[in-house]
Amino acid sequence: MEWVTAQDGLQYVRVTAPTAGELAWADALAPAINADIDTYLGRDVSTDAAAIAAVAAAALRAFGYGWKYREAPFGEASWLDQGGAVRLAGDWIAPIKPILARYRDPAPMIG
């Protein structure tokens, strides 16, 4: 499912006039996030409008985390956001997994 698009992600990170490199990164990042979220959620994703809105909002946040990876591709990135320190995890959907877990298909976890 397309949880985030490159254009929505660029708007979220406040890039109004992206360079060719920024466009290429956004065009690669959005589908990667969508695929990671789909893999994490499993097949039976809720079609409830509130669930879809929550996952889409979380996907935008993941795009923001992925965008910050451009600044530190081989190390850690951190920044201040609304007065709080944010440190990038090794996986850009790791920070949104608590949100995604509410909508995750439990069938693959039952063994």
Looking at residue 14, the DSSP 8-state letter turns out to be T
Maximum CA pair distance of the chain?
A: 49
- 108 versus 7: which is more confidently predicted? 7
pLDDT the model gives residue 58: 95
pLDDT classification of 21: cutoffs 50, 70, 90: very high
For 88-109, the pLDDT digits (tens) are: 556 778 889 999 988 887 766 5
Q: Take residue 72 and report the two structure tokens written for it.
A: 């530190």
For 23-57, the pLDDT digits (tens) are: 999 999 999 999 999 989 987 777 788 889 999 99
- Residues 37, 51: contact at Cβ < 8 Å? no
